[in-house]
Structure 1
């Protein structure tokens, strides 16, 4: 019997835990069962108490305070996940008894290396999805903050990390622009549509360049001082890098975005419908039989 799950990922601060909380609340209001798994060993505050918390196994605080290891926050988080990989029975015991009625929500940490080049998550996903005791139909939801669209370099860098995660994880994948409530009054819907599919033409009207021109700021683009941020961000080399990233995304044509406002019930429902479609949730549901009275009326 298959189980169903979604792995909520993305850089730090994009609203992963907020989305998880909104999704759980929406499921509960619609009489669907949710099972919340926190896999962020540094997380402390939750709107919904996790059903499984990695901190019961290992926490980032314990790793960083260990006198022998002396890890920093980034190295410590990777160590926590490597420790989890050595103790996967911790997850298996908690998830084994779940039925297909549950949507298992995995709330992931915001360290981008986990989704781009460290081969820890592919191992975890293989364990969760392999036929057998767990056999979870899993999809990934990769969140990127909608405010990134104001900074073209940040937007394309985030899109590249989303594509890297798609290629590395090899599961059904949704890319989501979160925190739409922060930009809906700053940009017209017509203009925002251009960002739902990364497009090289977005570089032609970079707001940062427009602001510099309006202010009459002259930047020495040949400056070799690494502390001169304006020069670096305006330099020809930096622009060529952004163009190369944009062309790469356009050539692969793998990344497009859904919009999410976690404060809007309809927005959360729309994302849930995409998740259900990715994991084929409705295909496993029993068809609803017609009530006796309705059947007689149709005849």
Structure 2
């Protein structure tokens, strides 16, 4: 049933897309937009490193990149940011002044940013003409699937500044080594996708280290493509901590599979081919791929629904590069 619904939804989106293009006239719609990424993920997933590496990669491609730091707790930035939220508010000032802990302080900062959205808009307007924007957000996951302030900030920016953004959610690949942690990562990704309502790319970061985390229970494509999660039940039952919540975990897996929205791509931020493949995917999701071409509706549609040429080989190549073969181990 969900499969038919998914197909119908894709067809509807395609026809709406064709109407938009035909009404506004070829690629002018995309040329008037400002493109960028919303970089999110739990602490330790590598967001700041990602922003730094992605900025350098895109600059080498010829794009002018502006990084916007919206993490009021990130005071050791490895990159030069065009806009820094610490000019507006700092977490270290908020916590003692309002008797808040780190989590409550971050929520307060995002609410304060929402109320002072004019400040952020004024900082971004000089960048709109020729910059590609990377938004570096805090790592507190509650900001992206419970609280509305972050979503409201992005919604207002999209409407007022004509932004076209893709949410890039980083998940540390070591979570694949533990079935319980992997299910948690899936649930986090699904919740964030539903709450943020943005084009969304889920990324297993630090994939170059996955071989050092221990042997995976399945091939890498099981984790990237989110295949039949019932296969995890055996491994979950072997862990006393997970066995206690076996029924709950089974129901959560059922919810994830019913939505059928989550999958992952992989990233080694030090590997230019890995970063390049991710850029292709992001450019397609937010429409940047259409911004530099003049095309008819038919040509646009071919690009929109066509498969990426690296999609099939990406997982096999990554597994061969970073994961030891079982036969070799034996």
Regarding TM over 0.5, the answer is yes
The structure whose Rg is larger is 1
- Taking the TM superposition and a 5 Å limit, the aligned residue runs for 1:1-299 are 1-66=32-97, 69-99=98-128, 101-130=130-159, 132=160, 134-184=161-211, 186-187=214-215, 191-198=219-226, 199-206=228-235, 209=238, 230=240, 232-235=241-244, 238-285=245-292
Larger deviation: 181-190 or 18-27?
Answer: 181-190
How many residues end up aligned between the 2 structures? 261
Task: Show CA shifts across 1:147-192 (max 9, x none).
Answer: 0011111111111111111111111111111110111464579711
What is the aligned partner in structure 1 of residue 301 from structure 2? none
Q: Which runs of 5+ in 2 are unaligned?
A: 1-31, 295-330
Taking only aligned residues, the RMSD between alpha carbons, in angstroms, comes to 1.9
Q: Distance in 2 between matches of 1:99 and 1:155?
A: 38
* Deviation (angstroms), 1:98: 2.3
Q: Is the 8 A contact 1:64 1:71 kept in 2?
A: yes
**Cα gap change, 1:284/1:30 in structure 2, threshold over 3 Å: closer, same or farther?**
same
The alpha carbon displacement at 1:118 in A equals 0.8
Structure 1 Cα separation of the partners of residues 233 and 243 of structure 2: 13
**Contact persistence 2:70–2:85 (CA under 8 A):** yes
Q: Does the residue aligned with 1:104 lie in a helix, a strand or coil?
A: strand
SS of the residue corresponding to residue 96 of structure 1 reads helix
Q: What secondary structure sits across from 1:106 in the alignment?
A: strand
Alignment match, 1:215: none
Moved over 4 A (4+): 185-190
Closer/same/farther in 2, CA of residues 257 and 7 from structure 1, 3 Å limit: same
**For the Cα contact (< 8 Å) 1:4–1:100, is it kept in 2?**
no
Q: Which has the larger helix fraction?
A: 2
Find the aligned partners of 2:256 and 2:293 in 1 and give their Cα distance: 40
Q: TM-score, normalised by structure 1?
A: 0.82
Secondary structure of 1:261's counterpart equals: coil
* Most deviating of 19-28 and 93-102: 93-102
Alpha carbons of structure 1 residues 208 and 261: separation in structure 2 relative to 1, 3 Å: farther
Deviations 1:31-62 (A, max 9, x none): 21111001111001122111111111001001
TM-score by length of 2: 0.75
C-alpha displacement at 1:201, in angstroms?
2.9
Structure 1 residue ranges without an equivalent (≥5): 213-229, 288-299
The answer to whether the 8 Å contact 1:150/1:207 transfers is no
1:14–1:145: 8 Å Cα contact kept in structure 2?
yes
- Residue 43 of structure 2: SS of its match in structure 1? coil
